[in-house]
């Protein structure tokens, strides 16, 4: 098969969906969250003694542990499901394109858009904090590590929540349960049970790269294992989602 017959439709879906994600009304939600993170971190910068530790802790608690799964849930679970519900999925389903490849196009757009949003939120939080407390090499390293970890987390969460949109008719309920109960609550319980969350492996990678604050002392899994698990989660949900998307009917 000619490569263009795959690349062109995938890029077409990715461009179309990215535009939908980034420029629909939900950008206001992302903006509010970014402003909130900036405000909290900006205010915190005036209060704390150890800027490197405190800044890293805030980025961990606010973004990695809380905001990332929620934003991923909001965008991911609705992306394909909304198109199935309003039947705009028809234009993709009736294209001469393997549906599994089309699904990959949706994934690219979600992962890309989510990565951009998370990097921007990290950047705003970091600027609000470190602009007041000194933007040195160490703080830049924290930003770079948190952005990289956020991108890895975005890739995994995108696969998980995008798949929920094809597995379930009401993925938002699953998403709410997963983001708030499983990731936030179960993920906070000390002990091995917290290891059954994406958050644990995202934070474990961050713990290997950042030596400051709560994330620097996080007792996580080894970085290589965590990366392998995140890649495994991403691939597994991508494959499962693509199979279900391919075999589903679209009345």
Query: Cβ closer to other proteins: 5 or 170?
Result: 5
Query: Cβ closer to other proteins: 15 or 133?
Result: 15
Main-chain dihedrals φ then ψ at residue 24, nearest 5 degrees: -85, -175
Shortest reach from residue 126's CB to other proteins, in Å: 33
The token pair at 125 is 């939080």
By CB under 8 A, name the binding residues for other proteins: 2, 4-6, 8-9, 11-13, 15-16, 20, 23, 86-88, 90-99, 249-251
Query: Cβ closer to other proteins: 88 or 217?
Result: 88
Main-chain dihedrals φ then ψ at residue 39, nearest 5 degrees: -65, -45
Residue with tokens 């606010």: 62
Shortest reach from residue 150's CB to other proteins, in Å: 28
State the distance between the two ends of the chain, measured CA to CA, in whole angstroms: 29
Query: Cβ closer to other proteins: 2 or 49?
Result: 2
d(CA 97, CA 99): 6
Shortest reach from residue 79's CB to other proteins, in Å: 14
d(CA 73, CA 148): 19
Shortest reach from residue 116's CB to other proteins, in Å: 19
């Amino acid at each position: 098969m000619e490569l263009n017959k795959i690349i062109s439709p995938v890029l077409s879906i990715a461009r179309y969906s990215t535009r939908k994600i980034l420029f629909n009304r939900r950008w206001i939600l992302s903006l509010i969250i970014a402003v909130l993170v900036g405000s909290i971190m900006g205010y915190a910068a005036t209060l704390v003694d150890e800027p490197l530790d405190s800044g890293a802790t805030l980025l961990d608690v606010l973004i990695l542990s809380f905001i990332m799964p929620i934003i991923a849930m909001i965008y991911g679970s609705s992306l394909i499901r909304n198109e199935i519900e309003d039947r705009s999925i028809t234009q993709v389903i009736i294209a001469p394109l393997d549906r599994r490849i089309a699904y990959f196009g949706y994934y690219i757009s979600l992962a890309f858009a989510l990565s951009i949003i998370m990097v921007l939120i990290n950047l705003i939080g970091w600027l609000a904090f470190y602009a007041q407390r000194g933007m040195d090499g160490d703080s830049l390293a924290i930003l770079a590590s948190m952005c990289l970890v956020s991108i890895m987390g975005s890739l995994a969460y995108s696969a998980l929540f995008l798949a929920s949109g094809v597995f379930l008719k009401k993925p938002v309920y699953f998403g709410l349960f997963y983001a708030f109960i499983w990731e936030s609550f179960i993920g906070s319980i000390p002990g091995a049970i917290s290891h059954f969350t994406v958050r644990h492996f995202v934070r474990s990678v961050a713990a290997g790269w950042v030596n400051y604050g709560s994330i620097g002392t996080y007792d996580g899994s080894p970085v290589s294992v965590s990366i392998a698990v995140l890649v495994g989660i991403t691939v597994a949900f991508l494959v499962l989602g693509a199979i279900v998307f391919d075999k589903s009917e679209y009345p």
